[in-house]
Amino acid sequence: MSNSPSRAEAHGADDLFDKYTLPKIALGVILTASFVGAWVSTRLTGSGVALAAVRWAYFVSLGILAGGLLWKHVFVRPDDLETGAQDYCAEMYERFDRIAIGALVVLAVSGTVVSWTYASRLDWGPAVGVYCAVLGLWVTAMTVTTGRTQSVEVQFRSVLGVVVLGLALAVTVGTAIMEVRIRGFGPVAASVRVFHLLAFAVWIGGAVWNIFVAVPTGRQRPTAAVARAAGEQLERFRWAVRVIIPTLFLTGVYQAVDVLGTTGSTYLGTSLGLAVLAKVGSVGVLVVIFKLCPMWRACSPIDGVCDLDDLGGTVTDNGEQTEGPGVPNDD
């Protein structure tokens, strides 16, 4: 007797998508470490916890938007729109736009406070004016793109989409430079801060996309075509993570030594030093999670994502799987 395909797919979706303990823990670690970092940098400028919280909200919303746009236009590839996964990609775009609206509100509010802080500390210099102009232009362009209802084919790597992604990266770079300028500008310190903030944005934006966009969308469409598209996108992100982890660690250590020096008592005997050690240690926790992920398949939105060869089978032009895992056989 044949099994029901829809029933098999539904059961498979429940099994395959209930694997996100590790990635959620990783996201929690990233958010906690970023708050610690925001608190440390705020303390170094003589401000309190309230401003640290606002700055943290700004960094997180910036990362969610910039990293999400990177996934939207880079980790998604043209082939994903041509192999039966168009609807999957279209729904992911819609989900991200809904998240982006909330992130934009947070960015607009926190960005106003952060921009005012930069301006007041730098006497409203020309660099601040350029930064504020780019930030305002990006928020406006993001608002336009999230409010438009167009097909995924039209949105994907469109001129406006690429411009918005470019502005996102420009704001991220500009933010890093402003962070260094308010403590005394140094080209090396600015470059290190740029790489650190870019790595953070790619990671947190990719993590949010993976957990809150790719997974719930894939649950509703557990087909071979979707599994392969999701798997290839996630594997591109995983390669990015292999660069992000050492980048966060090395740039974090450099920034700590640049500010606090190399004396052990500074790190073990002060709250700032302990906070820095905790943040550096969080990278180690992320490394462990990353290493465990392929073993547990905890990062797989669909079975086979961590190892695409597990998919097997044959996929037709309309995205239907004709053989392989997940396809019922008549016995």
Helix (H, G, I), strand (E, B), or coil: what is residue 321? strand
pLDDT of residue 302: 52
- Mean of all residue pLDDT scores within the chain: 79
Containing structural domain, residue 147: 48-309
Residue 322 lies in a domain: no
| Half-sphere exposure of residue 254: CA atoms within 13 angstroms, side-chain side | 15
pLDDT of residue 80: 66
CB 284 within 8 A of CB 292: no
Q: Compare 250 and 238 and report the one with higher pLDDT.
A: 250
Burial of residue 1, with CB atoms counted within 10 A of its CB: 0-12 exposed, 13-18 middle, 19 or more buried: exposed
CB 95 within 8 A of CB 212: yes
Distance in angstroms between the alpha carbons of the first and the last residue of the chain:
6
Residue 318 lies in a domain: no
Q: Specify which residues 321 forms β-bridges with.
A: 315
**Sequence-ordered strand ranges (E) for the chain:** 314-315, 321-323
Which pLDDT band, with edges at 50, 70 and 90, does 250 fall under? Answer: very high
pLDDT of residue 283: 86
Q: Compare 85 and 123 and report the one with higher pLDDT.
A: 123
Q: Of 110, 107, 278, whose CA–CA distance to 205 is shortest?
A: 107
Please state the domain count of the chain: 1
Residue 17 lies in a domain: no
In this model, does residue 18 exceed pLDDT 60?
no
**Residues sharing a CB contact under 8 Å with residue 186, sequence separation 6 or more, in sequence order:** 180
pLDDT of residue 300: 47
Burial of residue 329, with CB atoms counted within 10 A of its CB: 0-12 exposed, 13-18 middle, 19 or more buried: exposed
Q: Of 17, 42, 197, whose CA–CA distance to 121 is shortest?
A: 42
Question: Residue 315 has what DSSP assignment?
Answer: E
Residue 13 lies in a domain: no
- Tens digits of residue pLDDT in 189-214: 999 999 999 999 999 998 898 889 88
DSSP 217-260: HHHH---HHHHHHHHHHHHHHHHHHHHHHHHHHHHHHHHHHHHH
Residue 67 lies in a domain: yes
Residue 26 lies in a domain: no
Residue 16 lies in a domain: no
Burial of residue 295, with CB atoms counted within 10 A of its CB: 0-12 exposed, 13-18 middle, 19 or more buried: exposed
pLDDT of residue 327: 39
Both tokens of residue 235? 């594997």
- Tens digits of residue pLDDT in 93-147: 889 989 999 999 999 999 999 999 999 988 888 889 999 999 999 999 999 888 7
Q: 37-40: long-range contacts (C-beta < 8 A, 24 or more apart)?
A: 37/252, 37/279, 39/275, 40/272, 40/275, 40/276, 40/279
Residue 18 lies in a domain: no
